Amino acid sequence: MSVSLDEVDAVLRRSGSAPDGLDDVTRLLIGTVPVRATEAAAWTAAFGPLDKLVARRPMLATWRAWLDSTGLVRRLASDPEIASALITAAVRVLAELPLKGIALGRLAAETTGDAHGLDDGRPLATIVLSAARVLRGSPPSGDGTAGERRTSWAAVGVHRDELSSSVLCLGLPGGADTVTGRILALAKEAGEPSVLTLRQLSTARLGVGTRVVSVCENPIVLASAADELGPDCPPLVCVNGQPSAAVWRLLDLLAEEGAGFRYHGDFDWGGVRIGNTLRDRISWEPWRFDASSYITTTTTGGPLTGRPADATWDPELRPALERRGVRVEEELVLPALLEDLR
């Protein structure tokens, strides 16, 4: 029978019986093995750039620990020399993130010299994407779906292409001097929602100026506002879950024009995390989205499940959610939100 040393190392680290891994166990049991010691030194040197990166960006410390506990780099790279090249490239990419909007192929070309260097399945993409998840406040492993990968890239300002990423909005006045501005003006006049792609937002006159833009999590809020308020609806943007690259681009453009923001989302742990993600990028005020609003809401959904998270805009929201233990989706408070918009 034979076993993989890397797998043994990962099991020892995960179990807690040997946090420093197989090399440490070997030294304890039989003393230093010269060949293994030399190889260990080479692996330590290969991981050096990661340690320097984490020193500059402490929020990646959990990602760095996860890499050790899973042995991911050792599985992707067969020896320290290959690992060193992989880690160096990953650090070079991560040094650029987050960005305000760049195509994945362009990022790969500019940082690695290979436009396909960050394609799905490439070792470098696997390493960088796991860090991007941590930067967005999620576990580094992800769920393996294409949608999750796209969302994680978008959270650090990287889009797969300019057409697949879109954002839903309503009531943006637009303008006459750009195509996108004219589209928005026509939609505003008709009281109809607009779906804008990232490409359409490369140059756009939004016409909002310094007004407050209401931001919601779910499309039902925007659709209901279109039904009930039509052309009279003030500027409203829907993030539709974790923000896409197009959502980020639109919010950035609005902020550059001087707009302010208020945000409402679902009262559950996913909603809190989306709020935190937005808060990291733009400044917004709670729109019926704080502890007092949650406590006074009489309508409730199902039980609150999932991993708890602190709300960066209201330290009292997490304790309130944990005490009450029920989730409240936006659909359940639609009348109040529509009245605010009215």
Angle of CA points 334, 246, 262, to nearest 5°: 40
Per-residue pLDDT, averaged over 195-215, amounts to: 90
Q: What is the pLDDT of residues 178-191, one digit of tens each?
A: 899 999 999 999 99
Identify the CA nearest to 292 among candidates 274, 267, 270.
267
Per-residue pLDDT, averaged over 226-237, amounts to: 97
pTM score, whole prediction: 0.63
Which CA distances in Å does 56 have to 53, 67, 91, 94, 280? 5, 18, 11, 12, 18
C-alpha 242/C-alpha 299 separation (Å) is 25
Question: For residue 134, what are the contacts with CB-CB under 8 A and spacing of at least 6?
Answer: 59, 60, 62, 63, 66, 140
Domains defined for the chain, CATH in brackets: 33-159 (no CATH), 166-341 (3.40.1360.10)
Could you please report the per-residue DSSP string of 276-326? HHHHHHS--EESS-SHHHHHH-----SB--S-----TT-TTHHHHHHHH-B
C-alpha 44/C-alpha 176 separation (Å) is 59
Q: Is the pLDDT of residue 271 over 90?
A: yes
